[in-house]
Amino acid sequence: MILSKSVAVSLNLAACKLKQFTAAMIKKNNIDLTPEQFLLIDLLWNEGPMSQQVMADTMHKDKNSITNLADQLERKGWVVRKKDDFDRRSNILTLTEKAESLKLEAKEKGISILEQIIEGISEEDLTVFLNTLEKLSDNMNVTQD
């Protein structure tokens, strides 16, 4: 198999395995979220309320995917939608008290899960890996002409 194809296949398989592993570990830790829901909540914990469009851009997802995630999280009581005061067509996602009260515990569990994933890998190897991923990501930026 040519190297470029091996890279693409390995990246895809690793991404799938990462999602499966984090889903299993989140469930094992009794956190009622999928990995994608956790990422959305974590983004709101870190950045504060934001519009669904900004969320879509930040998470590299289409707006419909964010709408579906927000619907699910709203039903679970983690987020609420509020109309944007400056653009009434836009919704702002805001965390509920439930989400805020679980922040510390969920973040600690999330970090523990991530530590398991990188266990036994040197900081130097992780740095090289992150730099390589960044270069790959940069190469995949789509320009709109």
Q: Which domains does the chain carry?
A: 31-120 (1.10.10.10)
The pTM of the full predicted model, rounded to 2 decimals, is 0.79
CA angle 21/72/141 to nearest 5° reads 65
Q: Does the pLDDT value for residue 144 go beyond 50? A: no
Cα diameter, the chain: 54
pLDDT at 110: 86
pLDDT digits (tens, 9 = 90+) for 61-95: 998 999 999 999 999 999 999 887 777 778 899 99
Q: Where are the beta strands (DSSP E) in the chain?
A: 50-51, 79-83, 91-95
pLDDT digits (tens, 9 = 90+) for 18-68: 999 999 998 898 888 898 999 999 999 999 999 998 999 999 899 899 999
**Average pLDDT of every residue of the chain:** 90
Query: 87 to each of 54, 82, 90, how far by Cα in Å?
Result: 13, 11, 6
